[in-house]
Amino acid sequence: MDSNIVYCGLDCAKCPIYIATKTNDHKLRKKTAQTWNMDPKKLYCSMCNSEEEPLFYWCAECPIRSCAREKEFNTCAECPDYLCDKLTEPLSKHPEQKENLDRLRQKIS
């Protein structure tokens, strides 16, 4: 399960964009686009920590991803500055991501 956890703690195995990309599910992509009020052409992703394409458009500019990659961490759980300002807003909106990172952090301590 942890191999699906990316830098910010998102579990990609539960993400409809990732699922739609991996399974080539156009109906799920369209449904997600409607729910998120987005263009379905932008809803492709192979996980932001993967070297595979496509990369979700936001991930290319994500400050969390940039920081973790620069520091060569698999997730923010590895960082000595864990729970920095970059994570404050996303984790407050998505507490399950913090739970994922906290669980990973416990494993490495």
Q: Indicate the pLDDT class of residue 2, thresholds 50, 70 and 90.
A: low
Q: Domain residue spans in the chain?
A: 2-108
Q: How many CB atoms lie within 10 A of CB 31?
A: 14
In this prediction, residues 77-85 reach a mean pLDDT of: 95
- Entry pTM: 0.86
What are 50-75's pLDDT values in tens digits?
Answer: 888 888 888 888 999 999 999 999 99
Q: Can you tell me the distance from the alpha carbon of 8 to that of 42, in angstroms, rounded to the nearest whole number?
A: 20
**Poorest-pLDDT segment among 9-18, 44-53, 77-86, 99-108:** 44-53
Amino acid identity of residue 62, one-letter, is C
Strand partners, 11: 5
